[in-house]
Structure 1
Amino acid sequence: MTSRTTRSLGILTLERGVPPGGKPPTPAPGSILNPSSFEFPAIQEIVAGAWVENVVSGDPALEPAYIAAANRLVERGAAAISSTCGFSIRHQSAVAAAVKVPVVMSSLILLPALLRQVPAPGKIAVLTYDSKHLSEDLLGVADPAERARVVIGGIEGGKYWHDELKRPAPPMDIKAIESDVADCIARLRGAHPEIAVILFECAGFPTVASAIRRTANLPVYDITDLCRMTMASIA
């Protein structure tokens, strides 16, 4: 069994392309890939062929690559598995069945619990990289009354959305992410003043979570919160 002092979070990462000079940019503060985001070590494996475009759109052919990368992480000592894209939840069941460690591929796993946390008529706002591809099956909410309390907003068409589709992807523009996310939240709250909690689907959004908590004055949950909780549960 992995000891408490050496246990690591295993992170499945998407393809980013080779940047000029061959050196990847330093992950932004708050990012799931930034070592300072966690009190425990994290290790990474790239999911071969998994680019933002085909992961978000839901290419089923990626599943074997997700499983293979997850197994490599476990072989390297990962005590739990997560990912850098919330749309990877499509492969949650397959990866969880393939490895014998906890698997939390997406913050969307938190949505049913948040609906219980917030009493009706309070609503949960799900902020996503691309709302056009956040299909109903990814939400995990079957009850129509509960589904009516979930509102979805995306930043598709914004600068960060375009940046992530580039090969190689450029360094994160934190100001652009914050602006896109804040604008989306403002639109959602204008239409749904009952919003009581915000859930970030996108694993890039934790970089602006602290700023959004201050400006929106609402609880904000993201993938890093789920990773911390999962790692804290492991002996």
Structure 2
Amino acid sequence: MKHYGYIGKGDDDFDVVKPLAQQMSGYPIGIMLLNVGYPIVPGNVANACTYDFPVRYARVRTVDSPRLHTKDPTIIDDLTAVGKELQEDGVRAIICACGYFGRWQKQLTERLDVPVYASSLTQIPMIRIGLKKSQKIGILCAVTRTFDDELLSCCGVDDPSMLVVKSMEEAAEFSAIPRDRDTMNNAKVRAEMVQAAKEMVAENPDIGAILLECSDMPPYAAAVQAAVNLPVYDFTTMIRWVESAVCRKPFYGYI
């Protein structure tokens, strides 16, 4: 049985319910990480300083970037196993820290017992409803070879024509991030992200909002927004939204 209790000042007189197998508590969000190593700066989904609430990380050790992009259908079993471990740790919702994990969004929601948001792309339907019919969503993604209609459909997108997709795989510094390496130039990555966004909007003036697909892109969201003057969504906008729903606190103030 889940317990969504909140203990505030003078509000601790209730029975605490917790499964015996749960060895910890206080983690609202569990995050499944791709098995890859590189510098993780604040703003990155895998950097705990990104959040003002606790997050529980779990690496999916059997899934690296090359395997992920084979679209191996057995990856669902690896994700399910790690997701169940996070559930046992008491998380209230689970995020997968790579946009391409969205291919298994629907299966994960059926296999796990807490809300699951496997990809930043699941925000597209909500972003779309706030735009004019004539406007599109610009997406900066890590790679295009597996950014396909199947992935989008699994994330709740039924009209890919509303999207303008631009890949960062040709950007010299950014394209090296999702590979095993121990150095990167943060300023160069920021400049590449800003340039890509400016080019995409210049070529498509009907873009009304931008979505950053990759979990490595949020550190540069503010710079992108300053450059193109549009709403910018990414993994962190989704994670904060989910956390705010599963960790409601009472309101206090004057009437």
Normalized against structure 1, the TM-score is what?
0.87
Q: Identity, % of aligned pairs?
A: 26
Match of 2:143 among 130, 150, 159: 130
Preserved contact between residue 28 and residue 172 of structure 1 (Cα < 8 Å): no
Structure with greater proportional helix content: 1
The residue aligned with 1:21 is none
How far off is 1:129 after superposition?
A: 0.4
CA spacing shift, 1:225–1:171, aligned 2, 3 Å: farther
2:197 aligned to which of 178, 185, 196: 185
Counterparts of 1:193 and 1:89, CA distance in 2: 28
CA contact (8 A) 1:2 1:77 kept: no
Work out whether residues 201 and 228 of structure 2, in 8 Å CA contact, stay in contact via their aligned partners in 1.
Answer: no
Structure 1 window deviating more from structure 2 (117-126 vs 155-164): it is 155-164
In structure 2, the CA distance between the partners of 1:153 and 1:4, relative to structure 1 (3 Å rule), is farther
- 2:126 is equivalent to residue 113 of structure 1: yes
Work out whether 1:9 is the aligned partner of 2:29: yes
List alignment gaps of at least 5 residues for structure 2: 8-25, 249-255
Give distance in 1, aligned partners of 2:79 and 2:161: 32
Cα-Cα RMSD: 1.9
* Number of matched pairs: 223
Alpha-carbon distance change, 4 to 142 in structure 1, aligned in 2, over 3 angstroms = same
Q: Deviations over 1:157-203 (max 9, x none)?
A: 3222233223xx33554223222222222222222111110001101
Q: Contact conserved, 2:194 with 2:223, CA < 8 A, in 1?
A: no
Aligned with residue 50 of structure 1, among 63, 67, 76 = 63
- Measure the CA separation in 2 of the matches of 1:180 and 1:4: 43
Match of 1:28 among 18, 32, 41: 41
Question: Aligned match of 2:101 in 83, 88, 101?
Answer: 88
- Whether 2:215 is the aligned partner of 1:203: answer yes
Structure 2: distance between partners of 1:173 and 1:8: 32
In our comparison, the structure showing a higher alpha carbon Rg is 2
Q: Does structure 2 conserve the Cα–Cα contact (< 8 Å) formed by 1:201 and 1:223?
A: yes
SS in 2 for 1:89: helix
